[in-house]
Amino acid sequence: MVAGNKRSRSEKRTQRVTPGHKTVTRYNRKKIGVARCQLTGQKLNGMPRVHKIKLKKLSKSAKRPNRPFGGVLSPVAMKRVLIERVRD
C-alpha cells in the first residue's frame, strides 16, 4: 500500500525508468507560484519561492523586502499609493 502522503495530489508524479529497466513513480513537491503585486500583477522581487512551512523558519528580513508595503506591492505601485496618500 502506498503511504498516505503519496496518495494526495499535493506532490507531482513523474514516471522514471531505473537502470534495471523498472518503471517507478517518483514524487516531487510542486513548485510554488511567484508572489505578485496586488495592483499591477508584476512579480515581486525579494520574495522567496518556498512552501509556507519553510517560510515560517526564515528570518523576517528574508521573508520580504524591508520597505513600506514590502511583499505586497511592487515598487511602482507603492510609489503611486504613497503619492495618493500624501495628496489626501
Give, rounded to a whole angstrom, the gap between the first and last alpha carbons of the chain.
Answer: 64
Q: Mind listing the pLDDT tens digit for each residue in 27-62?
A: 988 888 999 999 999 999 989 998 888 989 999 889
pLDDT, mean over the chain: 91
Q: What is the C-alpha radius of gyration for the chain, rounded to an integer number of angstroms?
A: 20
Residue 64's alpha-carbon distances to 22, 24, 76, 77, in angstroms, are: 44, 39, 16, 16
Q: What pLDDT, on a 0 to 100 scale, did the predictor assign at position 43?
A: 94
pTM: 0.65
Q: What pLDDT, on a 0 to 100 scale, did the predictor assign at position 48?
A: 92
Q: Answer yes or no: are the C-beta atoms of 34 and 43 closer than 8 Å.
A: yes
